[in-house]
Amino acid sequence: MALASDKQTNEANELMLSLPKEMGLNAGPYLHLFQDFWCPSFYFQGVINFQKHFHAKDSDVFLATFPKSGTTWLKALTFLIVNHQRFSSFENQPLLSSNPHELVSSPEFILSHDLHDQILSLSNMSEPRLFSTHLPFSALPKTMTESKCKIIYICRNPFDTFVSAWEFSTKIKSVSSSPAFTFEEAFEKYCNGITGFGPWWNHMLGYWNESITKPDKVLSLKYEELKEDTVFHVKRIVEFLDSPITQEGEGTTAIENIINLCRFEKMKDLGVNKSGYIHNIAEKKNFFRKGKIGDWKNYFSPSMIEKLSTIIEEKLSGSGLSFKVHS
């Protein structure tokens, strides 16, 4: 088994080295252009293993996101919805003692090491299994697209997503000794689609188009809409997942409790989210920065606004996907 896995690692490394590469946002790790998306080197082996060895179950729920679009929030909300009947009271909710990223993990990360053991432990997870992924729709394993598993996607206006990613990248433990990019250099990369799991427009459009043609398979949400009318959009998640919450007499109260527990201020204030690291790289507290719509206005110059607006217009035009960014 060890030899087989060494061979697979070598094959993945060889493949990775043969691909076009660019420096990532925090000046590392490298991004490799693989299957039309920029895959961080850190994830490469895990992505290959996810595509080759993961077996989706019809009851699986996947949260798909482009980084910094609201993954943490969506994980918290969906974890509570999916596990609604498992925890008798809100006082013993795991969300009070674990960060959402510790409760919902990504196969592309888990499967990057100890493949055999990890596959076994994934297959033994209680159902419904809840996972997350940053992979674009086109790179998902076939087993996911062919099974009846459900996918919830969240995207966010590209202005705020970029600022959130930029701020996050300045705080992440550097995995490279080379100097980090300036805000302007990082913006150029973002405009060229060169960020982890990007281009962001392909990422958004892949899931968006799928949510139009297969609304029972993919539910598409926007961070801004979730913020502006949380009750309405959490109800959409509940209905999409056929959760029994709605059939229960106390459905509305349960939904309100879930929303309250996942409020930005509440989560940011939890002891468990104030210290410690996720994957030994990102500090938990940095997943809760401002949680606001429109912070980009404090960062962008007029020429940057014009440039990104034009790219959004060009890339998303005709798709039906749009963002209110100037209100």
- Active site positions, annotated: 134
Q: Smaller CB distance to ligand A3P: residue 90 or 264? A: 264
Residues that bind ligand A3P (rule: CB under 6 A) add up to a total of 20
Q: Smaller CB distance to ligand A3P: residue 51 or 169? A: 169
Contact pick of 29, 40, 46, 70 for ligand A3P (by CB under 6 A): 70
Q: Answer yes or no whether residue 72 interacts with ligand A3P by CB under 6 A.
A: yes
Torsion over CA: 249, 58, 147, 134 (sign): positive
* One-character DSSP codes across 151-216: EEEEE--HHHHHHHHHHHHHHSPPSSSSPPPPHHHHHHHHHTT-STT--HHHHHHHHHHHHHH-TT
Scanning 12-20, 64-72, 125-133, 253-261 for contacts with ligand A3P by CB under 6 A, the matching segment is: 64-72
Rounded CA-CA distance 271/97 in Å is: 8
Single out the residue of 60, 84, 68, 41 nearest to residue 140, CA to CA: 60
Q: Answer yes or no whether residue 51 interacts with ligand A3P by CB under 6 A.
A: no
Shortest distance (Å) from residue 280 CB to ligand A3P: 17
Shortest distance (Å) from residue 124 CB to ligand A3P: 28
Q: Answer yes or no whether residue 133 interacts with ligand A3P by CB under 6 A.
A: no
Q: Answer yes or no whether residue 73 interacts with ligand A3P by CB under 6 A.
A: yes
**Tokens 């959009």 belong to residue:** 233
* 3-state SS, residue 34: strand
Strand partners, 105: 131
Q: Answer yes or no whether residue 102 interacts with ligand A3P by CB under 6 A.
A: no
The mark string for 160-179 relative to ligand A3P (x by CB under 6 A, - otherwise) is: x---x--x------------
Residues 288/273, Cβ–Cβ less than 8 Å? yes
Contact pick of 26, 71, 78, 118 for ligand A3P (by CB under 6 A): 71
Q: Smaller CB distance to ligand A3P: residue 69 or 202? A: 69
Single out the residue of 180, 172, 174 nearest to residue 283, CA to CA: 172
Go through the chain and tell me how many residues it has: 327
Report H helices in the chain.
2-17, 44-53, 71-82, 100-103, 107-110, 115-123, 142-146, 158-171, 183-191, 200-213, 223-228, 230-240, 251-261, 264-269, 302-316
Single out the residue of 316, 153, 327, 320 nearest to residue 226, CA to CA: 153
Contact pick of 187, 288, 300, 323 for ligand A3P (by CB under 6 A): 288
Torsion over CA: 171, 49, 55, 205 (sign): positive
Q: Smaller CB distance to ligand A3P: residue 198 or 291? A: 291
Scanning 13-21, 66-74, 251-259, 303-311 for contacts with ligand A3P by CB under 6 A, the matching segment is: 66-74
The mark string for 253-282 relative to ligand A3P (x by CB under 6 A, - otherwise) is: ---------x-x--x---------------
Scanning 26-34, 87-95, 194-202, 285-293 for contacts with ligand A3P by CB under 6 A, the matching segment is: 285-293
Shortest distance (Å) from residue 171 CB to ligand A3P: 10
Residues 21/33, Cβ–Cβ less than 8 Å? yes
Q: Which residues bind ligand A3P (CB under 6 A)?
A: 65, 67-73, 160, 164, 167, 262, 264, 267, 287-291, 295
